[in-house]
Amino acid sequence: MFTDNHADVYETIYRSRGKDWEQEALDVVAEITAERPEITSLLDVACGTGIHLEQFRRLVEHCEGVEIAEPMIALAAERVPGVPLHRGDMRSFRLDRRFDAVTCMFCSIGYLDTVADMRAAVATMAGHLVPGGVLVIEPWWFPERFIDGYVAGDLSRGPDRTITRVSHSTLVDGKTRMELRFVVADETGISDFTEIEILSLWPEQAYREALADAGCSVRYVPGGPTGRGLFVGVRS
């Protein structure tokens, strides 16, 4: 997932849906500072195009990012020059420092395949926290909240480019199978592409147990940036 085509339209189509990365970053930092009032370092895992990082670095003295998808980290490097970016897997990356806060936003953790993968990612992220550091994770839907057969459609119309996105989500082997179809029209013509995304539907308790076993307290904040809530953990 996150091919060059998808990375190219990613921000534009989500802004058309009303997504506000800047406000989300402000809200997340508020959750962090409620637990740790003074923070000077933050690591954003699955940082994507760096759009949260762009705001985080205005609020926190030192920020870094981790991202596995090459098309996304390439865009992040353009957006936040000077911010250290690391190509890595959230389950196993290793950096040479610890941070006051680690974030993993926009349901990125849901793209992992198994509970064991999720637990490995939580442990790896928590392992990059200083004692008393704060871990914020935005989950994918809990199983009881997923709507089998859910469809969505979005339109972004700009002066030079129009993009449509339609999606259809089904339950397959206990996971979300989301088919995404994009049509892009610009001065060069009309193109289209399709992507299939698979996201794991883990129960709230699975996240709680992963955080606890990683040495963190657990607080769940309902709602959150996209309606799926946030897990906030503090490392002991």
Q: Please list, in sequence order, all residues whose beta carbon lies within 8 angstroms of the beta carbon of residue 50, skipping any fewer than 6 positions away.
A: 65, 75, 76, 77, 79, 80, 83, 85
Q: Of 171, 174, 155, nearest to 163 (Cα)?
A: 155
Cα 234 to the center of its chain, rounded Å: 19
Query: In angstroms, how far is the first alpha carbon of the chain from the final one?
Result: 35
| Topology of the domain comprising 4-142+202-234 | Rossmann fold (3.40.50)
pLDDT digits (tens, 9 = 90+) for 13-55: 999 999 999 999 999 999 999 999 999 999 999 999 999 999 9
What is the b/e burial string over 75-106, where b = at least 16 CB atoms within 10 angstroms of the residue's CB? Answer: bbbebbeebebbebbbbebeeeeebbbbbbbb
Rg (CA), the chain: 18
pTM over 0.85: yes
Per CATH, the number for 144-200 is 2.20.130.10
Sketch the domain layout of the chain as residue ranges: 4-142+202-234, 144-200
197 has which bridge partners? Answer: 178
Q: What pLDDT, in 10s, does the model give residues 91-145?
A: 999 999 999 999 999 999 999 999 999 999 999 999 999 999 999 999 999 999 9
Same fold, 4-142+202-234 and 144-200: no
